[in-house]
Amino acid sequence: MQHFTKAEIRQIKDYYDDLLKIIEPKFSKDRLELIDKAFNFANIAHDGVKRKSGEPYIIHPIAVAIIVTNDLGLGTTSVLSTILHDVVEDTEYSIEDIKNMFGAKVAEIVDGLTKLSGDFDSRQASTLKKMLMTLSDDVRVILIKIADRLHNMRTLESMPAHKQLKIAGETLYLYAPLAHRLGLYAIKNELEDLSLKYKHPEEYNQISYRLHDQEKKRNYLVEEFIKPIKERLEKENIDSTISSRLKSKFSIWEKMQKKGVSYDEIYDLLAIRIVIKAKPGISEKRQCFDILSLVTDIYTPKPDRIRDWITTPKANGYESLHVTVMGPQGKWVEIQIRSERMEQIAEYGFAAHYKYKGINSQEGELEKWLERIREALQNPDSDAFEFLDEFKLNLFASEIIVFSPKGKMFNLPKNSTVIDFAYEIHTDLGNKCIGAKVNQKLVPVSCVLHSGDQVEILTSENQEPKLEWLKFITTAKARTKIKNAFKLEKSKHIEKGKEIVEVALKKVNVTPSSNTLKKITAHFNLANKDQLYSHAGMGLIEIDDLSEILKKKSENRLVKYWKLTFSRKKKERDDNEGSSNIDKKKPFLLKENKNQTSYSLAKCCNPIPGDDVIGYISSKDHIIIHKKECPKAEIFLTSHGERIVTAEWTNFKRLAYLTKITLNGFDRVGIVNEVTNIISKLHNINMRSVKFDTHDGIFEGELYIYVHNARDLQNLIQQLEKIKGIDKISREET
């Protein structure tokens, strides 16, 4: 093996001394000895190995360790793991060796980091998925991995061009969003800027040049702008520092891309930051708002541009008070007001929490975030690409804050709906959700929530998850839960249908052989046994009397062939008429039903006289009446159009005068039944028509009824009001 030169050995020592300078005041003596042991071990393990830049390899883990302790504020376990992070990957030592020398925890983190290393292609989504699964085990693995990536990006110069592009792409795709989500703003900005440098060098150089070019002018303007603020702060004896923050190169570039504007058109290049040393005894929030008041005495604030992230911090822990004011040059300037503690969190995110509270006190929000990752990962359905898209969506999505009726706060991704919120609280609440009251107003399940909304989820025992919910939900949690419920639901229908068929067969004393099932399946024009069961289970077909169906002899093949070949004419007629005894050209008349055909009223939509209805030929001489707007009728119209007949009611009584009642409330199974039941029990009232419209679980009903007098009507309304789910009843004369 080739050993290092004296100069190289000195270089290694210099780096290690830099690390020691930072950690010596922070860590205890035994821990420092352990770190020394790790360094010596890693140094020997990597002996003679060089990076692409020509530097000894060991410099890399030491440089990462400096980031880990200095910028992220992590403790000795992390520093140890970082120093050792490439040993297992690149040398002949194993995880077992690490475990024996440095303990199980360090070995576990090194193992996590080893699994993530290597050359993964950002197109290999499944590798990324695997990586993210490891990431959620111990958050320190993520943090060290981000530090590792930051150092690799800082030293990307020495890599070949194609590797530069690939690594920069990965960084932008995954590491920068991860850093952002963890609140590591400074690192996120640096990762993005470095990625831009390698991905779009020309644009990067142009932006750098312009920023540099205008530096003097900008500094002058900043001085002018903050001068009156500074004076006021001094006069008020407020201990604070004012600095200006330049928009990152990547953010400038991104804005130019997204909005199609030139560099000169970007007006918010600068933000002013006021960081106060909070006085003890007064809340930091109060003190920040005092500064806000002071600033807006000097500069006019832009209406609606005060952002209070102190009262409700962002999910990644960010706290700050933002206000946009009109500067003396006629340009809007953003001012960020925060305490020193908030500043730490803003720069180093959750790592700052570690700094303040130690590694054992897991920040609640971070736990929630990790929980969300774990949930997304548990979704067995999503293929790796879908998963990544969803995951990234969750990473990037800005957050809204909503409140429970008791005032408990919940963070949700933007565009979350009532259903997302319901599932966020509890699976059962989601499954049974029929709508909500948002700020006291009744809204459907699909309603998009906004920050500050107070949401009371309303449920019904009869509610079941709906596939259509998938169209408007946002969170991975809700998606998984609905899909799971639906799988269960489908198998329930099949089970129920199987039971229905078996009971019907028992009635006619037939065993459910595959032959009999085939006969029934064929009779209903269905494809297979499972479809028969699920149709029966969902009530799409009615299986009462099977004797007629089973009596029919199945034709032997020769007869079938003959029929197919020689009776084309008959076949055509059959096709047109659905081979039923029902004349489809004439409307099917209800009540005055002259032919032998029997009919029943569909249980799903409960049509009543006066409704617009259609008939569905369920078997040769039986018709099921559905309301025209019944969802099932809509399915039939599109998939079994040949079985549909028009149907009309022939008569219903006319009484004294016609009144219209409108009902509002939550849809639940059986509610229409209850309404019509109540009306039919009242002798003095007759219905002309009932129309129920349902949108996302909210129904609006219109009853046209004939009543004798107002007392009867009052009586009716009182009874209707007692129905669960009815929210509002109003009447109008017609």
Residues taking part in catalysis: 89-90
Interacting positions 392-451 with Mn ion (CB under 5 A): none
**Residue whose CB is less far from Mn ion, 86 or 319:** 86
Q: How far is the CB of 388 from Mn ion (least distance, A)?
A: 23
Question: Quick one: which segment of 78-86, 330-338, 567-575, 699-707 binds Mn ion (CB under 5 A)?
Answer: 78-86
DSSP 374-388: HHHHH-SSS-HHHHH
Question: Quick one: which segment of 83-91, 193-201, 246-254, 581-589 binds Mn ion (CB under 5 A)?
Answer: 83-91
**Residue whose CB is less far from Mn ion, 64 or 726:** 64
**Residue whose CB is less far from Mn ion, 90 or 700:** 90
Applying CB under 5 A, among 138, 148, 190, 611 the residue interacting with Mn ion is 148
Compute how many other C-beta atoms are within 10 angstroms of the C-beta atom of residue 696.
20
Question: Quick one: which segment of 146-154, 541-549, 559-567, 634-642 binds Mn ion (CB under 5 A)?
Answer: 146-154
Question: Quick one: which segment of 81-89, 202-210, 308-316, 462-470 binds Mn ion (CB under 5 A)?
Answer: 81-89
Q: How far is the CB of 85 from Mn ion (least distance, A)?
A: 6
Q: How far is the CB of 329 from Mn ion (least distance, A)?
A: 46
Q: How far is the CB of 42 from Mn ion (least distance, A)?
A: 11
Residue in the block written with tokens 């001068």: 227
User: Per CB under 5 A, does 170 bind Mn ion?
Assistant: no
**Residue whose CB is less far from Mn ion, 44 or 710:** 44
3-state secondary structure 214-254: CHHHHHHHHHHHHHHHHHHHHHCCCCEEEEEEECCHHHHHH
Strand partners, 455: 438
Q: Which of 281, 196, 272, 211 is nearest to 240 (CA)?
A: 272
Compute how many other C-beta atoms are within 10 angstroms of the C-beta atom of residue 610.
17
Interacting positions 198-257 with Mn ion (CB under 5 A): none
3-state secondary structure 665-705: EECCCCHHHHHHHHHHHCCCEEEEEEEEEEECCEEEEEEEE
**Residue whose CB is less far from Mn ion, 148 or 363:** 148
Q: Which of 56, 76, 67 is nearest to 14 (CA)?
A: 56
Binding mask 98-137 for Mn ion (x = CB under 5 A): ----------------------------------------
Structure tokens at 597: 């055909």
Contact yes or no for 520/500 (Cβ under 8 A): no
Kindly state the number of chain residues that form the binding site for Mn ion, as judged by CB under 5 A: 2
Distance in angstroms (rounded) separating the CA atoms of residues 221 and 215:
10
Q: How far is the CB of 56 from Mn ion (least distance, A)?
A: 14
**Residue whose CB is less far from Mn ion, 148 or 319:** 148
- 321 CB contacts (<8 Å, ≥6 apart)? 288, 289, 291, 292, 306, 307, 308, 309, 310, 336, 337, 338
Q: How far is the CB of 141 from Mn ion (least distance, A)?
A: 13
Closest CB to Mn ion: residue number? 148
Question: Quick one: which segment of 147-155, 495-503, 621-629, 663-671 binds Mn ion (CB under 5 A)?
Answer: 147-155
Question: Quick one: which segment of 145-153, 229-237, 514-522, 627-635 binds Mn ion (CB under 5 A)?
Answer: 145-153
Distance in angstroms (rounded) separating the CA atoms of residues 353 and 280:
20
Q: How far is the CB of 145 from Mn ion (least distance, A)?
A: 9
Structure tokens at 126: 């499944």
Helix, strand, or coil here: 480? helix
Q: How far is the CB of 161 from Mn ion (least distance, A)?
A: 21
**Residue whose CB is less far from Mn ion, 146 or 617:** 146
Q: In whole angstroms, what separates CA 391 from the centre of its chain?
A: 9
**Residue whose CB is less far from Mn ion, 81 or 411:** 81
Convert 168-186 to b/e letters by CB count within 10 Å (16 or more is b).
Answer: bbbbbebbbbbbbbbbbbe
Contact yes or no for 359/75 (Cβ under 8 A): yes
Helix, strand, or coil here: 600? strand
Measured in residues, the chain has a length of: 734
Residues that bind Mn ion (CB under 5 A): 86, 148
